[in-house]
Amino acid sequence: MAVRLPGRLRRIQDYVSNAIDRRRHPERFVQHSSTPYVEVFRDGIMSVRHYLPLQEASLYIEGQHYQVQSVPYQRPLVLVPPLGVFAWIFDLMIERSLVRYFLAHGFDVYLIDWGNPKDPPYTNLTLEDYVIRWFPMAMAAIRQHSGESEVSLMGYCMGGLLSMLYLGAEKDQQVKNLVTIASPVDTRKMGVAGRFSAAMEIPTQLVRRYTGFRLDQVDPQRFHVPGKWVSVAFKLSSPLSPLTSYLDMLRNLGDTEYMISYMSMNAWFNNMADYPGGTVLELIRKLGLYNRLAKGQIRIGNKLADFKEIHCDLLAFAGASDAIVPMAAAYRIMDVVSSRDKRFHLVPGGHAGVFTGARAVSTTWAISAEWLAQRSGPLRTASVT
Burial class (CB in 10 A: 0-12, 13-18, 19+), 298: buried
Q: How far is CA 16 from CA 43, 124, 244, in A?
A: 46, 46, 21
**281, 125 in Cβ contact below 8 A?**
no
DSSP 40: E
- Buried b / exposed e over 25-61, threshold 16 CB at 10 Å, is eeeebbbbbebebeebbeeebbbbbbbebbeeeebeb
The C-alpha atoms of residue 149 and residue 159 are separated, in whole angstroms, by 21
The pTM (predicted TM-score) of the whole model is 0.86
- pLDDT tens digits, 275-333: 999 999 999 888 888 899 999 999 999 999 999 999 999 999 999 999 999 999 999 99
pLDDT tier for residue 237 given thresholds of 50, 70 and 90: low
The C-alpha atoms of residue 385 and residue 201 are separated, in whole angstroms, by 50
Q: What is the pLDDT of residue 357?
A: 87
Which phi and psi angles does 82 have, rounded to 5°?
A: -75, 170
Domain limits, the chain: 37-225+274-373
**100, 54 in Cβ contact below 8 A?**
yes
Angle (CA) 64 70 76, round 5°: 100
Which phi and psi angles does 320 have, rounded to 5°?
A: -60, -30
The C-alpha atoms of residue 82 and residue 69 are separated, in whole angstroms, by 28
Architecture of domain 37-225+274-373: 3-Layer(aba) Sandwich (3.40)
**Residue 376 half-sphere exposure, CB side, CA atoms within 13 Å?**
27
User: Parallel, antiparallel, or unpaired: how do β-strands 313-319 and 342-347 relate?
Assistant: parallel
- pLDDT tens digits, 27-78: 565 666 689 999 999 999 999 999 999 999 999 888 889 999 988 999 999 9
Q: Which one, of 355, 334, 346, lies nearest residue 234 by Cα? A: 355
